[in-house]
A and B are shown apart, each in its own frame.
Chain A
């Protein structure tokens, strides 16, 4: 398992897939490989992130390796029947920058969450409808530009209108993380994708 973890941390997708395939061939289940290999690698990255010694490039490379391993076992790219729950993410209408959201998707997938990605420039109604259909643990909003903030403030209301008062909403990205939960009308503002993991782990699985 150590070789898989190292390959992911090195951002070596080919080696990560090769190691995962070997582990599977030796009798380990995909679930065990994800929990003990991929999630362990993501935890190591999380530690690095906390030390402020990280950057998008390293996370993207590790994330790409994680997604390749995930696809090996679940070609759709999503962990099947995730016990950790579903997270719906989007960059809202007016914001076409989606790198932050894509990284969040990789990190959450690597930690075993089922991620439903509503894409960029996503209308509020589409986000709320997707959440209503998916029974998510939380809804995540990524924003690089400040002009999207008025829409961010409407998300909880749109969810409540669909009976999703209990779904937590978090925000992140260069513009949104300058603000506060109160100003954005969300439950949490994350400094990084790993901050989101800590927030979500504090929620439990929320599935009853």
Chain B
């Protein structure tokens, strides 16, 4: 059973010989390879090579074509500033809350807009190199997260109350954008899709807002990916997400990330028949030592022993400046642990 088969079986809650381990190595792959974050997030060939280097170094079970949280926003008109040692930031939003919008917005073409073509290039290279041996995740931002990137989080949240119809229209546009982008990624080589949706966290919006406003669009997105052959849809919502976990299966989520705010017991209770992954505190990969990471990994795998459907992972992305020996410790623990 290779890595891809291992992850696939785990997603289906089948019994496996070991627990898959997927540290969320995104930009850290650039740091590991001695490449600037700016280059990594702008050049598909470099991104793919760094991901392959990280895979060879750590021996984990999946790679990601993830640049930063601003790919869709940039493609739709936001202006970014890039940095060598950290992720890009939006310096000008595509929209202003008081101004007219949507009429000038056109769903970005994944093969032409911003850095989207570079992400597709990375996926093509990764698929060529890894074939059906290791799972390759493409990535889109969640619908509401794209909306908040286009407008600014603060303005978008106020709009949810002050002018909900406008926010609905904007989020529908965002949904169309990520579906088109995600389908292009699956066509380019992604086996599965990561939906990264930080703005949908219950730390940001109430659970009933998630249910009424976000869930239908998330479901539409996941269904589109399913129809295009995605082997799994991974939803990543950080923070205290326990109240919204029960909505995930009906939305078409196959892998649910849970952050360090949520205990293993809460994840098991909230998602009894869905594969989950988590939840080592991201900063622990910077501040802690390998022994501590190893212990936490063992404790987590023990908590899920017999339950099936668990992928050992970080609660969110491992920070850029993570200590490689800590990631090695997590991967080593998964390989050492008996999943019998």
Contact = CB atoms under 8 A, between A and B. Distances in A.
Interface of A: 11, 52, 55-58, 60-61, 64, 94, 96, 99, 102, 145-147, 149, 174-175, 178-179, 183
Contacts of A52: 240
B212 interface: no
Nearest to A56: B204
Which range contains the number of B residues in contact with the other chain?
A: 20 to 34
Interface centre among B202, B204, B283, B321 (most CB of A within 10 A): B283
B319 interface: yes
Interface of B: 85-87, 89, 153-154, 157-158, 160-161, 202-206, 209, 238-240, 260, 281-284, 286-287, 319-321
B27 to A, nearest CB: 10
- Which 7 pairs show the lowest CB-CB distances between chains A and B? A178-B283, A146-B319, A56-B204, A96-B89, A147-B86, A57-B157, A57-B205
Contacts of A61: 158, 161
A56 B203 contact: yes
Given A146-B321, A175-B283, A55 B158 contact: no
Contact of B158 (A64, A145, A149, A178): A64
28 contacts: A11-B161, A52-B240, A55-B202, A55-B203, A55-B204, A56-B205, A57-B160, A57-B161, A57-B204, A57-B206, A60-B154, A60-B157, A60-B158, A61-B158, A61-B161, A99-B153, A99-B154, A102-B154, A145-B87, A146-B282, A146-B283, A146-B319, A146-B320, A147-B85, A147-B321, A178-B281, A178-B282, A179-B283
Interface centre among B85, B87, B153 (most CB of A within 10 A): B153
Nearest to A175: B283
A30 to B, nearest CB: 25
Contacts of A64: 158
Nearest to A183: B287
Contacts of B282: 146, 178
Contacts of B209: 57
Contacts of A94: 86
Contacts of A179: 283, 287
A174 to B, nearest CB: 8
A9 B281 CA distance: 33
Given A55-B203, A57-B209, A178-B282, 14 more contacts: A55-B202, A56-B204, A56-B205, A57-B157, A60-B158, A61-B158, A61-B161, A102-B154, A145-B86, A146-B282, A146-B283, A146-B319, A146-B321, A149-B286
A182 B279 CA distance: 23
A55 B205 contact: yes
A58 B239 CA distance: 16
B76 to A, nearest CB: 19
A181 to B, nearest CB: 13
Interface centre among A61, A146, A149 (most CB of B within 10 A): A146
Interface centre among A56, A145, A183 (most CB of B within 10 A): A56
Nearest to A94: B86
A190 B154 CA distance: 21
